[in-house]
């Protein structure tokens, strides 16, 4: 990630030029003495000391006999004028770096990096605009681990105060280095909600190169880009189209929309609709649906079963329906029961 022109960078740059002036002063005095006498008149240590007390204006007096060396005092004036400003600038930027929060930012970035390195099976959210914020809120409510990538540090800090602490990468999600910093290699999925479809396309392509098996979901404004995103393996969501369908549904089926909103948007409502896929090691394989002890999982309701080889859902399945590897159960339950069900049976 390309670093911005921060106080830290300015302090380092000022310090570098201050060292350059010190080196010029040291060797300048040495060469002036050599040219005057045809042999070294002063040692490098004395020349360095003279340069330092000149730059710092300590005022201990000249330890070198400059009066008898042509041009030595003019050279001292040059060193004094060029170095004094650099020294003052270096001290001021270093003080600002320590006092105005830049040092805190360094520690903050290290803290974020440490949190991210511990993650696996998480979701990477690219962009924290309006859509990204809503996604983060839902991921937090469902206790799902996630990492945010966004270039705006103030926006990330503000959201961390609003939503609670979460790991974040301060950078550009279209850059492979920032995705790698977010541990894309071990992530479960990526959600790209950048404002430009071209940027979302770049994120999807980069993620697919870094992790070919990654599940990727991207927002999209232009239908022209939707096909390109799907072509490289991304699931596409078009907020404008969904917004239109939502408005129509609100008019035609107001109570259904209200019911779904309670589960999907109301922070106080613990019930969610979720999907649970039965893996190869599930203890429910070959068993009927009735093998699930529904009383152990609170208000668990199996609304549909989606077979791996048949995208058409089996709605309101009978308790006698057998369960197969790869079956996805669409369930309605509370978050705690959902997590326990996944641990025991997924």
pLDDT in tens, 98-140: 665 556 677 777 888 888 988 899 999 999 988 999 999 989 8
Helices (H), the chain: 7-37, 44-55, 72-99, 102-117, 130-141, 153-163, 176-181, 197-210, 223-231, 239-252, 254-264, 335-345
pLDDT at 280 over 70: yes
Pairing of strands 123-126, 328-334: unpaired
pLDDT of res. 253? 93
pLDDT at 4 over 70: no
pLDDT of res. 324? 92
Element (H, E) at 307: strand 301-307
The answer to whether 18 and 97 are in contact (CB under 8 A) is: no
pLDDT at 5 over 60: no
In this predicted model, which residue has the larger pLDDT, 196 or 260?
196
pLDDT at 18 over 90: no
**Cα–Cα distances in angstroms (integers) from residue 153 to residues 4, 11, 111, 165, 190, in the given order:** 11, 21, 14, 14, 20
Domains of the chain: 7-100 (1.10.287.70), 104-237 (3.40.50.720), 271-345 (3.30.70.1450)
pLDDT at 21 over 90: no
């Amino acid at each position: 990630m390309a670093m911005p022109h921060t106080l830290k960078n300015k302090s380092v740059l000022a310090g570098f030029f201050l060292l350059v002036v010190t080196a010029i002063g040291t060797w300048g005095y040495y060469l002036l003495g050599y040219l005057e006498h045809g042999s070294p008149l002063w040692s490098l240590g004395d020349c360095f000391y003279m340069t330092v007390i000149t730059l710092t204006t300590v005022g201990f007096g000249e330890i070198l006999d400059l009066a008898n060396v042509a041009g030595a005092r003019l050279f001292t004036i040059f060193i004094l004028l060029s170095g004094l400003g650099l020294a003052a600038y270096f001290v001021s930027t270093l003080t600002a770096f320590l006092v105005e929060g830049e040092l805190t930012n360094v520690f903050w970035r290290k803290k974020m990096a440490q949190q991210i390195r511990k993650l696996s099976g998480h979701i990477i959210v690219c962009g924290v605009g309006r859509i990204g914020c809503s996604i983060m809120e839902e991921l937090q409510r469902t206790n799902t681990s996630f990492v945010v990538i966004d270039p705006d540090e103030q926006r990330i800090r503000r959201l961390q105060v609003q939503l609670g602490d979460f790991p974040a990468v301060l950078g550009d999600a279209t850059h492979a280095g920032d995705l790698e910093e977010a541990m894309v290699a071990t992530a479960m999925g990526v959600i790209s909600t950048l404002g430009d479809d071209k940027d979302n396309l770049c994120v999807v392509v980069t993620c697919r190169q870094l992790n070919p098996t990654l599940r990727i979901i991207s927002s999209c404004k232009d239908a022209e880009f939707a096909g390109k995103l799907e072509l490289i393996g991304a699931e596409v969501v078009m907020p404008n189209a969904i917004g239109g369908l939502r408005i129509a549904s609100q008019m035609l089926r107001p109570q259904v929309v209200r019911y779904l909103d309670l589960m999907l948007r109301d922070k106080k409502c613990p019930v969610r609709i979720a999907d649970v896929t039965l893996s190869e090691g599930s203890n429910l394989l070959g068993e009927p649906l009735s093998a699930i002890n529904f009383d152990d999982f609170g208000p668990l309701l199996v609304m549909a079963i989606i077979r791996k080889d048949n995208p058409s859902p089996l709605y309101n399945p009978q308790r006698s329906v057998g369960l197969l590897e790869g079956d996805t159960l669409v369930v309605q339950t509370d978050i705690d029961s959902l997590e326990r069900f996944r641990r025991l049976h997924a």
